[in-house]
């Protein structure tokens, strides 16, 4: 069999992975003092270059037949790497979102000004927490620059994940982006034991879910003798082996729903969000969700699209559980990062509404929601990282009292993000929810939308509570303050806030983009 | 462009006021007042430009906003919305004058912030009455919450945080149900028309099947009933009105709550005629309960601000009653009632505010004998109180009478029961006057209550003048309102032949 590699279509993925290799070499051969600036430039440059390629691919003349591509006239829209990868409209939009969010998150990872000891990562993660070694390395100002190659591999894997067109490629992509995340999650500079615990939980549960995914793929293979999505889709329609197919779909769903953090596979979310270094939490909460939902969309639209009557009831239950349990548990939290983690679980439920619709509107609204949510999420965690006292980040809710008086600007932007998460009109969150809800009602899921509205009402309560706390409560005597960050974080927060507002007030260009992205190719 | 310009005036004003240095408090107030008066002039010009021979939308302007969802910036007014805009534009400068010193001692927030928020609120008020794209309406409906939330939460009384939060949560929950119904309506429109739309006039042409109509109707109605507020969704209002500054309460109860009843009249009836008729008996029952419940609780209050808030709940019962009997008297009575109630409740809140700020207490028992110490203040109190109980000669009487005659034609039982609400109104107002104004002034009252100041009189006098003037020549307002009422009746497909008989009967 002739193996073809379409370099242009695959360029974004190749650029990121190649930069990852290059970045490892930088670690090996460049003196320690020079590593950080070089790594940082490498990361930012490769993300920008990859994004440029996504744009080039998306605007290139159409390679295939406009009729089979739903009347689309531009964009590559082709299978690449012998059908292992499908570069199509939604895929390119997802890649674009991942790259944008990764760029902003990279700026957060590069921040060195908010912690007097260095960046957000342990000076040397191999030292024992609390040991003399740790103290010495910290005093000497060591930085763990190995995070940068890990980050590049992670983003590379995420770019591949939503465009994988067969179960094995998807599994490889899953592992490529998950393993660096497990590692980076363990490297927090402060509260290192909590960070280790989070990483271990994440790793063990993540490994389990990967196993589920693989097992599911094996069952599907057994039933259809194929791992390629398009072949699987056709074979399933004619197959009578429901005993293999239904458990197969279920297990693959477990693997993917774990990554997006849907109930009942959400247990890792609060612990990992809380324990990880905050810039990484920002990255995970946004980029992982985008990549994983991209994969979920592709699998359930392309491979299992014909089976939607079988998997929809399951997804209904999971969506309802995610929305209701996520919102209810968020109300009870006293830690900012945990509260936001549960809110992210609730948002997973909202986004699942778009997946359940299995329509063109469902797809485009999910893409819009992911972009909107991605930026808001990065922004919200960026600000969480700025509120600090002497012992590091002050994440207990009571410590946030009165921040609106101390730093009105930061508190206002944080309030903007919270309003967007709550889905208040004129913010991106509202447009996203509106799009998803409309698609869901059109797809006959009216009861789900009613649950979603009730969950939004519950959610509005805990977001509003934080705003009240910040603006209408007296600050505690020895409370934390908002650290003035360097340009990196400022740009990251500014970009996120701008997107959050823009997608709320004038969403039409982005809506056009996601609608014109068309459907997945097979 | 007229309506957009009308919204831009207070918007520019609020930005200018907000950008002033904090030390220039007096300048901020003067500029805010200037912009509010300019808006008033603009809105009067707007209403004078109306063609009273037609009940359709006028001054219409429409621009695409989010075409992908069929959302447009569509503004337009008919007689009802135009008169409500003028009413609001009159109340805003009055609230600014009355609240001249409100923000001076606020523990949080600055003077300029207070007046800037009031102007922002005015932008959304005009928007919400003028919006004729349902989505745009929803945006303004929700956006209004935030200036009010901050006005209560930053400048209110000791329980302000609680009151502001309760207000926000009630409204947000109501708003979310409306959102669900709005999306449902959008989907229905996209199925019928091919492309979804939020344009009000297009939506009235839809043929929605009765079952769907009923579901969507309930979603909208819940949001509007919370906003209005009707029993049993009313509990946020007394807290909010008692904790807010009197100027804020005036705008909150006088203007914002009208959005609920206005939307029932302007959107619910025309878009869901079948469902409106189906639910009308139930809603009329709720309205009658509101009338009595509000009045009885008003009688039982010990806090003056809460008392006025409960009287409003009773009045909103009358307004809703008039809307859902769907006769021309009922509808025009309710529309006129909305305008009058703004002035009348505004006057009551302001006078109560004057008294409370002097005495430093909101408890009725802490007053007594005020008319001996401050006779003019007591006189103003009495006039505003009498407008609240709909004394003949006051404009409130005309509207209440219209509502009751309109109701009698369709639902005599409800009309007869509701009439007893007037008796209760006399009880709560006159008994309040007796407790606070008559008797021998206590030492504290003698020391603290001073006569009404010129600024305070300037604020409240126009309200009383308007109430009395409209009481004698209600046709000025009714001529503007009636064509729009006929239009609503055409949308719903109701006529009122019986009502004509009743009018003749009562006239002979």
Over the stretch A104-125, which tens digit does the pLDDT of each residue have? Answer: 999 999 988 888 888 888 888 8
CB contacts < 8 Å between A and B, how many? 75
Residue to test with chain B: of A364, A372, A403, A425, most B Cβ within 10 A? A425
- Do A471 and B67 make contact, defined as CB atoms within 8 angstroms? no
Residues of chain B neighbouring A512 (CB-CB closer than 8 A): 68
| Phi-psi sector, B454: left (phi>0), alpha (psi -120 to 50), beta | alpha
Burial class (CB in 10 A: 0-12, 13-18, 19+), A31: exposed
Q: Does residue A474 surpass a pLDDT of 60?
A: yes
Q: Does B194 touch chain A (CB under 8 A)?
A: no
Identify which of B143, B169, B184 has the shortest CB distance to residue A425: B143
Confidence (pLDDT) at B242? 87
Separation in Å, CA of A497 to nearest CA in chain B: 19
The least confident of A42-56, A176-190, A393-407 is A393-407
- The helix/strand/coil state of B196 is coil
Mean pLDDT of B331-342: 94
Residue B159: beta bridge partners?
Answer: none
Q: Does B180 touch chain A (CB under 8 A)?
A: yes
For residue A69, what pLDDT band results from cuts at 50, 70 and 90? low
Separation in Å, CA of B138 to nearest CA in chain A: 8
Q: Which of A4 and A194 is assigned the larger pLDDT?
A: A194
Q: What is the mean pLDDT of chain A?
A: 91
Q: Which of B365 and B498 is assigned the larger pLDDT?
A: B365
Residues 46-75 of B with CB under 8 A from A: 65-69
The least confident of A293-307, A313-327, A383-397 is A383-397
Enclosing H/E stretch for A387: strand A387-389
Whole-number Å distance between alpha carbons of A100 and A48: 9
Residues of chain B neighbouring A446 (CB-CB closer than 8 A): 184
Burial class (CB in 10 A: 0-12, 13-18, 19+), A516: middle
Q: Does residue B355 surpass a pLDDT of 50?
A: yes
In the block, tokens 């994988």 appear at A164
- Do A512 and B68 make contact, defined as CB atoms within 8 angstroms? yes
Whole-number Å distance between alpha carbons of B168 and A464: 9
Confidence (pLDDT) at A65? 65
Mean pLDDT of B393-409: 92
Q: Does residue B482 surpass a pLDDT of 70?
A: yes
Confidence (pLDDT) at A5? 86
Confidence (pLDDT) at A137? 87
| Residue ranges in B228-327 assigned as alpha helix (H) | 236-243, 246-251, 257-263, 269-271, 273-300, 304-325
Q: Does residue B508 surpass a pLDDT of 50?
A: no
Q: What is the mean pLDDT of chain B?
A: 90
Residues of chain B neighbouring A506 (CB-CB closer than 8 A): 66
Residue to test with chain B: of A412, A424, A473, most B Cβ within 10 A? A424
List the one residue out of B344, B333, B253 whose CA is nearest residue B499: B333
Residues of chain A neighbouring B152 (CB-CB closer than 8 A): none
Mean pLDDT of A196-214: 95
Q: What are phi and psi of B203, to 5 degrees?
A: -65, -30
Residues in chain A: 522
Q: Does residue B501 surpass a pLDDT of 60?
A: no
Identify which of B142, B160, B169 has the shortest CB distance to residue A425: B142
Boundaries of domain holding B489: 278-508
Q: Does B382 touch chain A (CB under 8 A)?
A: no
Mean pLDDT of A244-250: 93
For residue A75, what pLDDT band results from cuts at 50, 70 and 90? confident
What are the pLDDT digits (tens) for B442-457?
888 888 888 899 999 9
Mean pLDDT of B450-473: 92
Q: What are phi and psi of A477, to 5 degrees?
A: -60, -55
In A, what residues contact B, Cβ < 8 A? 405, 424-426, 431, 434-435, 437-438, 441-442, 446, 449-450, 453-454, 456-457, 460-461, 464-465, 468, 471-473, 506-508, 511-512, 515
What are the pLDDT digits (tens) for A257-306?
999 999 899 999 999 999 999 999 999 999 999 999 999 999 999 999 88
Report for A21-25, A111-115, B103-107: range of highest mean pLDDT: A21-25
Q: Is the residue at B96 inside a domain? A: no
Q: What percent of chain B has a predicted confidence (pLDDT) above 90?
A: 62
Residues in chain B: 508
Mean pLDDT of B236-265: 90
Mean pLDDT of A408-412: 90
Residues of chain A neighbouring B142 (CB-CB closer than 8 A): 424-425
In whole angstroms, how far apart are CA B506 and each of B223, B280, B394, B404, B495? 37, 25, 20, 12, 19
CA angle, B222 then B223 then B226, to 5°? 85
In whole angstroms, what separates CA B255 from the centre of its chain? 3
Residues of chain A neighbouring B69 (CB-CB closer than 8 A): 434-435, 438, 511
Q: Is the residue at B252 inside a domain? A: no
CA-nearest residue of chain A to B196?
A438
- The helix/strand/coil state of B74 is strand
Cα distance between the two ends of chain A = 20
Helices B497-507 and B395-410 pack at an angle, to 10 degrees, of 120
CA-nearest residue of chain B to A467?
B165
For residue B262, what pLDDT band results from cuts at 50, 70 and 90? very high
Q: Does B139 touch chain A (CB under 8 A)?
A: yes
Spell A262-287 as b/e; 16+ CB within 10 A means b. bbebbebbbbbbbbbbbbbbbbbbbb
List the one residue out of B423, B239, B432, B431 whose CA is nearest residue B314: B423
Q: Does residue B470 surpass a pLDDT of 80?
A: yes
Q: Does residue B499 surpass a pLDDT of 50?
A: no
The least confident of A201-210, A323-332, A384-393 is A384-393
- Do A453 and B161 make contact, defined as CB atoms within 8 angstroms? no
What are the pLDDT digits (tens) for B150-183?
888 888 888 888 888 888 888 888 888 898 899 8
Enclosing H/E stretch for A109: helix A89-109
- Do B187 and A424 make contact, defined as CB atoms within 8 angstroms? no
Residues of chain A neighbouring B169 (CB-CB closer than 8 A): 460-461, 464
What is the interface pTM, i.e. ipTM, of the complex? Answer: 0.80
Q: What are phi and psi of A262, to 5 degrees?
A: -90, 150
Residue to test with chain B: of A472, A508, A510, most B Cβ within 10 A? A472
Identify which of A461, A472, A506 has the shortest CB distance to residue B153: A472
Burial class (CB in 10 A: 0-12, 13-18, 19+), A250: middle
Cis peptide before B232 (omega within 30 of 0): yes
What are the pLDDT digits (tens) for B403-440?
999 999 888 999 999 999 999 999 999 999 999 999 88
In whole angstroms, how far apart are CA B177 and each of A420, B222, B492? 18, 7, 23
* CB-CB contact of B96 with B120 (8 Å): no
Q: Does B179 touch chain A (CB under 8 A)?
A: yes
Confidence (pLDDT) at A1? 62
Residue A246: beta bridge partners?
Answer: none
Spatial neighbors of A41 by CB under 8 A, at least 6 apart, are none
Whole-number Å distance between alpha carbons of A76 and A521: 11
Residue to test with chain B: of A419, A438, A506, most B Cβ within 10 A? A438
| Structural domains in chain B (count) | 1
Whole-number Å distance between alpha carbons of A243 and A232: 15
- The helix/strand/coil state of B438 is coil
Q: Does residue A326 surpass a pLDDT of 90?
A: yes
CA-nearest residue of chain A to B135?
A425
What are the pLDDT digits (tens) for B32-59?
999 999 999 999 999 998 888 887 888 9
Confidence (pLDDT) at B199? 93
- Do B69 and A464 make contact, defined as CB atoms within 8 angstroms? no
Q: Does B177 touch chain A (CB under 8 A)?
A: yes
Q: Which of B427 and A3 is assigned the larger pLDDT?
A: B427
Mean pLDDT of B135-162: 88
CA-nearest residue of chain B to A423?
B176
Q: Does residue A516 surpass a pLDDT of 70?
A: yes
3-state helix, strand, coil in chain A (%, to 5): 75, 5, 25
Residues of chain A neighbouring B173 (CB-CB closer than 8 A): 457, 460
- Do B161 and A472 make contact, defined as CB atoms within 8 angstroms? yes
Mean pLDDT of B261-270: 93
Q: Does residue B504 surpass a pLDDT of 50?
A: no
């Amino acid at each position: 069999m002739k193996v073809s590699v379409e370099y242009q279509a695959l360029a974004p993925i190749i650029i990121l992975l190649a930069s990852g290799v290059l970045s490892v070499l930088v670690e090996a051969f460049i003196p320690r003092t020079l590593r950080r600036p070089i790594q940082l430039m490498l990361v930012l440059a490769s993300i920008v270059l990859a994004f440029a390629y996504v744009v080039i691919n998306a605007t290139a003349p159409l390679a295939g037949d406009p009729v089979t591509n739903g009347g689309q006239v531009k964009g590559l829209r082709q299978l690449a790497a012998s059908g292992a990868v499908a570069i199509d409209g939604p895929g390119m939009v997802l890649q674009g979102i991942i790259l944008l969010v990764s760029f902003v998150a990279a700026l957060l990872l590069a921040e060195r000004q908010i912690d007097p000891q260095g960046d957000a990562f342990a000076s040397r993660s191999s030292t024992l927490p609390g040991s003399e070694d740790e103290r010495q390395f910290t005093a000497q100002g060591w930085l763990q620059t190995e995070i940068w190659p890990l980050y590049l591999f992670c983003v590379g894997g995420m770019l591949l994940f939503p465009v994988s067109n067969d179960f094995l490629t998807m599994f490889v992509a899953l592992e490529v982006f998950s393993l660096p995340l497990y590692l980076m999650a363990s490297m927090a500079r402060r509260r290192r034991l909590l960070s280790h615990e989070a990483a271990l939980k994440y790793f063990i549960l993540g490994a389990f879910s990967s196993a589920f995914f693989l097992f599911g793929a094996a069952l599907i293979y057994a039933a259809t003798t194929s791992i390629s999505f398009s072949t699987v889709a056709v074979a399933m329609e004619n197959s009578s082996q429901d005993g293999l197919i239904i458990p197969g779909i279920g297990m693959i769903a477990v693997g993917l729903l774990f990554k997006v953090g849907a109930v009942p596979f959400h247990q890792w979310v609060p612990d990992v969000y809380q324990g990880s270094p905050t810039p990484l939490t920002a990255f995970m909460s946004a980029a992982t969700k985008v990549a994983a939902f991209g994969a979920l969309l592709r699998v359930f639209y392309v491979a299992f699209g014909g089976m939607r009557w079988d998997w929809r009831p399951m997804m209904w239950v999971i969506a309802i559980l995610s929305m209701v349990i996520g919102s209810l548990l968020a109300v009870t939290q006293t830690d900012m990062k945990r509260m936001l983690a549960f809110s992210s679980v609730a948002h997973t439920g909202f986004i699942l509404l778009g997946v359940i619709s299995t329509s063109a509107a469902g797809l485009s609204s999910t893409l819009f929601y992911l972009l909107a949510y991605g930026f808001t999420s990065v922004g919200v965690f960026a600000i969480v990282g700025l509120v600090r006292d002497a012992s590091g980040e002050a994440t207990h809710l009571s410590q946030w009292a009165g921040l609106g008086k101390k730093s009105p600007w930061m508190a206002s932007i944080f309030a903007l993000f919270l309003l967007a998460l709550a889905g208040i009109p004129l913010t991106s969150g509202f447009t996203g929810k509106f799009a998803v809800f409309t698609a869901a009602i059109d797809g006959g899921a009216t009861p789900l939308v009613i649950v979603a509205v009730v969950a939004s009402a519950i959610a509005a309560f805990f977001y509003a509570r934080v705003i009240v706390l910040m603006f209408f409560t007296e600050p505690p005597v020895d409370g934390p303050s908002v650290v003035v960050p360097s340009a990196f974080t400022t740009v990251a927060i500014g970009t996120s806030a701008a997107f959050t507002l823009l997608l709320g007030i004038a969403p039409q260009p982005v809506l056009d983009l996601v609608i014109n992205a068309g459907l997945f190719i097979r | 462009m007229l309506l957009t310009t009308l919204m831009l005036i207070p918007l520019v004003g609020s930005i200018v006021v907000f950008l002033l240095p904090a030390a220039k408090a007096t300048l901020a107030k003067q500029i805010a007042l200037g912009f509010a008066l300019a808006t008033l002039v603009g809105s009067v010009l707007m209403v004078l430009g109306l063609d009273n021979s037609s009940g359709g939308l006028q001054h219409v302007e429409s621009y695409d906003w989010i075409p992908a969802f069929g959302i447009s910036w569509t503004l337009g007014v008919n007689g009802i919305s135009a008169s409500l805009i003028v009413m609001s534009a009159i109340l805003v400068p009055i609230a600014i004058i009355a609240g001249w010193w409100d923000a001076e001692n606020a523990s949080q927030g600055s003077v300029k912030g207070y007046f800037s928020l009031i102007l922002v609120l005015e932008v959304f008020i005009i928007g919400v009455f003028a919006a004729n794209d349902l989505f745009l309406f929803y945006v303004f409906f929700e956006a209004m919450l935030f200036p009010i939330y901050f006005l209560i939460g930053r400048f209110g009384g000791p329980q302000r945080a609680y009151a502001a939060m309760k207000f926000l949560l009630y409204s947000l929950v109501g708003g979310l149900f409306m959102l669900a119904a709005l999306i449902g309506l959008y989907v229905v429109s996209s199925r019928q028309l091919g492309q979804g739309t939020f344009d009000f006039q297009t939506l009235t042409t839809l043929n929605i099947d009765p079952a769907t109509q009923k579901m969507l109707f309930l979603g909208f109605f819940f949001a509007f009933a919370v906003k209005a507020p009707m029993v049993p969704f009313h509990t946020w209002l007394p807290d909010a009105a008692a904790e807010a500054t009197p100027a804020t309460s005036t705008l909150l109860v006088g203007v914002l709550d009208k959005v609920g009843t206005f939307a029932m009249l302007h959107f619910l009836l025309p878009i869901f005629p079948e469902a409106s008729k189906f639910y009308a008996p139930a809603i009329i029952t709720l309205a009658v309960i509101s009338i009595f419940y509000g009045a009885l609780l008003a009688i039982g209050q010990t806090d003056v601000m809460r008392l006025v808030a409960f009287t409003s709940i009773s009045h909103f019962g009358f307004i809703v009653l008039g809307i859902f009997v769907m006769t021309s008297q009922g509808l025009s009575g309710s529309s006129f009632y909305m305008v009058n109630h703004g002035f009348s409740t505004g006057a009551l809140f302001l006078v109560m505010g004057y008294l409370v700020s002097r005495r430093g207490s909101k408890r009725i028992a802490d007053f007594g004998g005020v008319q001996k110490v401050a006779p003019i203040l007591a006189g103003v109190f009495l006039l505003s109180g009498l407008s609240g109980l709909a004394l003949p000669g006051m404009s409130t009487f005309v509207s209440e009478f219209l509502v009751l005659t309109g109701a009698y034609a369709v639902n005599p039982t409800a009309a007869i029961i509701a009439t007893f609400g007037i008796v209760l109104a006399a009880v709560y107002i006159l008994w309040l006057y007796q407790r606070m104004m008559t008797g021998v002034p206590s030492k504290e009252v003698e020391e603290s209550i001073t006569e009404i100041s010129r600024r305070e009189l300037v604020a409240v006098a126009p309200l009383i003048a308007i109430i009395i003037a409209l009481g004698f020549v209600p046709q000025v307002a009714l001529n503007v309102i009636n064509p729009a009422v006929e239009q609503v009746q055409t949308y719903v497909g109701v006529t009122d032949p019986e009502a004509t008989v009743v009018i003749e009967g009562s006239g002979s």
